[in-house]
């Protein structure tokens, strides 16, 4: 099979071609089955990260979102921010083996909203006390 790897469409039947297809995990474009780097976006694909590998959700990202919702007079929000940024860094470092980036972003956004609410709440309380 001299043509192997050169023109695979001539060699594989449809079923085998389906099984051997690879998609870039970053941009979703179809790539060569033996490609190491995506030709579209340059994302490294590599054999160590098969697409069917179970991606686990980052625990800090989940905790960040929950604490962002809890608020708890701003204490939950501050922890949500710390965990949210930590989770984002861990997800980036995991090179696609962890997910939950959206959750971490939601936790960070809720965290900031909570902090702003805490400041407004503080100012309101202070002004309420001074006008008494
Ligand atoms: Zn790509």
Alpha-carbon dihedral sign for residues 90, 95, 99, 105 = positive
The total number of structural domains in the chain stands at 2
- 86: pLDDT confidence band, cut at 50, 70 and 90? very high
Pairing of strands 22-23, 30-31: antiparallel
How far, in Å, is the centroid of ligand 1 from the Cα of 31? 8
Q: How far is CA 67 from CA 45, 53, 79, 84, 114, in A?
A: 35, 29, 7, 10, 10
How far, in Å, is the centroid of ligand 1 from the Cα of 38? 5
What local confidence, expressed as pLDDT, does residue 30 receive?
Answer: 86
Q: Is 101 within the bounds of a domain?
A: yes
Q: Which residue has the higher pLDDT, 23 or 94?
A: 94
Q: Is 13 within the bounds of a domain?
A: no
How far, in Å, is the centroid of ligand 1 from the Cα of 30? 8
Q: Is 5 within the bounds of a domain?
A: no
Q: How far apart are the first and last CA of the chain?
A: 90
Range of the structural domain that residue 86 is part of: 56-130
Q: Which residue has the higher pLDDT, 108 or 48?
A: 108
Q: Is 1 within the bounds of a domain?
A: no
How far, in Å, is the centroid of ligand 1 from the Cα of 22? 11
How far, in Å, is the centroid of ligand 1 from the Cα of 71? 38
Cα separation, 129 vs 97, in Å, equals: 52
């Amino acid at each position: 099979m001299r043509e192997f790897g050169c023109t695979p469409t001539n060699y594989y039947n449809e079923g085998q071609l389906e099984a051997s297809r690879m998609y870039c995990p970053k941009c979703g474009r179809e790539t060569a089955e033996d490609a190491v780097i995506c030709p579209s976006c340059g994302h490294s694909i590599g054999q160590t990260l098969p697409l069917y590998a179970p991606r686990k959700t980052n625990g800090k990202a989940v905790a960040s979102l929950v604490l962002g919702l809890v608020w708890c007079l701003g204490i939950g929000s501050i922890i949500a921010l710390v965990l949210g940024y930590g989770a984002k860094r861990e997800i980036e470092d995991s090179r696609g083996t962890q997910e939950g980036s959206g959750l971490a972003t939601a936790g960070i956004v809720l965290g900031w909203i909570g902090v702003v609410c805490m400041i407004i709440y503080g100012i309101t309380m202070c002004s309420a006390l001074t006008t008494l």
